[in-house]
Amino acid sequence: MNNQFAVIGLGLFGSALCEELQLQNAEVLAIDIDESKTRQIATLCNHVIVADATDEATVAELGLANFDIVFVAIGDNLETSILTTLVLKEAGVKKVWVKARDKFHAKILQKVGADKVINPEWDMGRRVAQSMLDNRLFDYLELGHEMVLTEFVIGLQQNGRTLADLNLLQQNDFQLLAIKRGEVLHNVLTGKMELQLGDILILAGNKHAIDHWLDTL
């Protein structure tokens, strides 16, 4: 489990990262070269520091190599983003995740050793399209403690795929309870079972795990 993070660059994206990580009780170090940016985030985040992340000595001093993931959220300044990524990888940071402005930027970041490149506009565009295609009949029936019961209708994209294809039987945090096909409720489920258009999957378990699975469809 990852639990110690640093975020470099406190624009809109970096600040949102810090806020969410902090809300989830992770250890987050927020870094920006601009003091006014660090001041704005100080109320949301426990550890905030003004520093230049392209400086090798600073990176060593902050011990960034010991963090689980260091996220570079410097979007607009290509040179700074690339240089920071390079310095972090050379310092021995295991996982450097970087926000890219476009495909060209993403390609260079991969070349200099970024472990994951994120393009928020592209990713979000795809995600929104997925929500537009969402096949759930109802949102959720909340069962408490983030547990939910929900239904999902098989659409054209999943038609003919098996339960094994969709990774439905080996999930740890939620379960496929049954499949409603017409008037019949199937509750003996095997990996080989092929889904048909209009089948209704009945799922129960952790809400985030179910959402995560839906995102993979």
Options 8-16, 87-95, 111-119, 186-194: segment touching ligand ATP (CB under 6 A)? 8-16
For 110, the enclosing helix (H) or strand (E) is: helix 103-111
Q: What is the DSSP letter of 156?
A: T
Which of 12, 60, 133, 185 binds ligand ATP (CB under 6 A)? It is: 12
Options 62-70, 74-82, 184-192, 201-209: segment touching ligand ATP (CB under 6 A)? 74-82
75 binds ligand ATP (CB under 6 A): yes
Q: Which residues pair with 128 in a beta bridge?
A: none
Tokens linked to 54: 């392209």
For 99, the enclosing helix (H) or strand (E) is: strand 96-99
Which residue's CB comes closest to ligand ATP?
75
105 binds ligand ATP (CB under 6 A): no
Options 47-55, 89-97, 165-173, 208-216: segment touching ligand ATP (CB under 6 A)? 47-55
Instruction: Report whether 125 contacts 108 (CB < 8 A).
Output: no
Instruction: Report whether 5 contacts 33 (CB < 8 A).
Output: no
Q: Which residues pair with 151 in a beta bridge?
A: 202
**Other CB atoms within 10 A of residue 67 CB:** 22
74 binds ligand ATP (CB under 6 A): yes
The distance of closest approach from Cβ of residue 170 to ligand ATP in the complex, given in angstroms and rounded to an integer, is 27
The distance of closest approach from Cβ of residue 100 to ligand ATP in the complex, given in angstroms and rounded to an integer, is 10
Rounded Cα gap, residues 209 and 144, in angstroms: 15
80 binds ligand ATP (CB under 6 A): yes
Binding site for ligand ATP (CB under 6 A): 8-13, 31-34, 37, 52-54, 74-77, 80, 137, 153, 198
